[in-house]
């Protein structure tokens, strides 16, 4: 082989390898390598958010069952409102911190946190305490305030929502962990795992204008589904949701629900909130569309009281 040819081929190979490397992240997107966990759902009660998560994730075989070494993880809390953690309109920051720590312990290469907030995002990130907590655990806290971060995706089979612009991190990361907080909601009656997805899309107003319940269920058709839904039910806003007015809106339930199936997680959350599941229309729509199982009696639920 001539030297020139050698250089040419090696350069070519290098390019190809580099390309394959950079595309690798996307390739992993659709393949789920999770081993089957023993339980469909872990429900915990009576502990602090971090302790409940520690125990819950252990029952599911540890975070290693969901996050492989070198993977990129996206954690999506609810950071919608410019209020302090005591008012429980946003996910508990300490819970977020603990989940991030578990991800890194399982060998995650990078953990990202973001939300498309309702109030001014800088203030929400700050006041909620989530930015500080996530950064202290080593996660990257990413803005979701500009349309330039969002990319159009198709939702095949969507009845009302046939496409949406989703945050690029949802497309670029390998593992997606949904960490909603359970709250009353003034039109859908409850916001939890499925409705938390209104914070990964750009144009929420479209959902509101085009049959909100159907759009929420339609979104669940999108291929990138959460590996885990961790529902924060520690302080639960039982009225005036999703924003709340004052502490009088809260009931301390000291609970947590962990499940991969978000329809099941929402059905269990509805019971916690004390709202008949059939009144929360998107749960039954999603169930009928085969996006999850709302029949809790058919599930293998591990209930833990601490």
Helix ranges restricted to H, 87-245: 93-105, 121-127, 130-136, 168-172, 204-209, 212-219
Q: Among 70, 245, 288, 298, which residue interacts with another protein (rule: CB under 8 A)?
A: 245
Tokens of 117: 């907030």
**Residue 250 near another protein by CB under 8 A:** yes
Residue 8 or 295 having the CB closest to another protein: 295
* Residue of the chain from 8, 105, 162, 239 that contacts another protein (CB under 8 A): 239
- 59 contacts another protein (rule: CB under 8 A): no
Is 186 one of the binding residues for another protein (CB under 8 A)?
yes
Burial of 292 (C-beta count, 10 Å sphere; 0-12/13-18/19+): buried
**33 near another protein (CB under 8 A):** no
Among 57-65, 99-107, 207-215, 221-229, the segment contacting another protein (CB under 8 A): 207-215
Helix pair angle (93-105, 49-59), 10° resolution: 40
Q: What is the DSSP letter of 35?
A: P
Residues 85-104 that bind another protein (CB under 8 A): none
Calpha distance 31→174 (Å, rounded): 9
255-294 residues in contact with another protein (CB under 8 A) are 255, 267-268, 271-272, 274, 279, 281
Cβ-based nearer residue to another protein, 65 or 114: 114
Distance CA 295, CA 32 (A): 24
Name the one range near another protein by CB under 8 A: 1-9, 90-98, 200-208, 224-232: 200-208
How many Å apart are CA 198 and CA 18, to the nearest integer?
A: 35
Site size toward another protein, by CB under 8 A: 59
> The tokens of 189 are what?
């009656």
Radius of gyration for the alpha carbons in the chain, expressed in angstroms and rounded: 20
Structure tokens at 204: 């929420």
Q: At what angle do helices 281-288 and 212-219 cross, to 10 degrees?
A: 40
The residue with tokens 């302080």 is 235
Site string for another protein, 103-142 (x = CB under 8 A): -------x-------xxx-xx---x------------xxx
Judged by the rule CB under 8 A, the positions of this chain that interact with another protein are 43, 45, 82, 110, 118-120, 122-123, 127, 140-143, 145-149, 185-188, 203-206, 208-214, 238-240, 242-243, 245-246, 248-255, 267-268, 271-272, 274, 279, 281, 296, 301, 303
């Amino acid at each position: 082989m001539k030297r020139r040819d050698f250089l040419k081929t090696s350069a070519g190979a290098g390019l190809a390898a580099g390309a394959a490397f950079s595309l690798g992240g996307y390739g992993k997107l659709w393949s789920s390598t999770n081993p089957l966990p023993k339980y469909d759902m872990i429900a915990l009660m009576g502990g602090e958010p971090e302790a409940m998560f520690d125990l819950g994730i252990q029952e599911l075989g540890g975070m290693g069952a969901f996050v492989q070494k070198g993977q990129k993880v996206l954690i999506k809390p609810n950071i919608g409102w410019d209020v302090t953690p005591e008012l429980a309109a946003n996910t508990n920051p300490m819970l977020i911190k603990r989940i991030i720590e578990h991800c890194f312990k399982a060998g995650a290469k990078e953990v990202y946190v973001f939300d498309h907030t309702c109030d001014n995002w800088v203030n929400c990130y700050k006041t909620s305490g989530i930015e500080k907590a996530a950064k202290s655990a080593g996660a990257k806290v990413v803005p979701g305030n500009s349309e330039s971060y969002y990319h159009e995706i198709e939702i095949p089979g969507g009845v009302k929502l046939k496409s949406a612009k989703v945050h690029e991190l949802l497309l670029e990361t390998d593992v997606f962990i949904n960490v909603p907080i359970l709250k009353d909601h003034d039109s859908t009656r409850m916001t939890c795992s499925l409705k938390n997805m209104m914070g990964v899309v750009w144009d929420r107003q479209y959902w509101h204008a085009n049959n909100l319940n159907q759009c929420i269920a339609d979104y669940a058709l999108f291929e990138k589904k959460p590996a885990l839904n961790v529902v924060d039910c520690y302080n639960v806003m039982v009225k005036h949701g999703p924003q709340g007015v004052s502490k009088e809106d809260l009931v301390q339930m000291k609970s947590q629900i962990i499940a991969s199936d978000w329809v099941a997680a929402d059905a269990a959350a509805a019971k916690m909130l004390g709202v008949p599941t059939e009144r929360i229309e998107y749960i039954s729509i999603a169930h009928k569309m085969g996006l999850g199982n709302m029949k809790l009696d058919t599930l293998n639920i591990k209930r833990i009281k601490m």
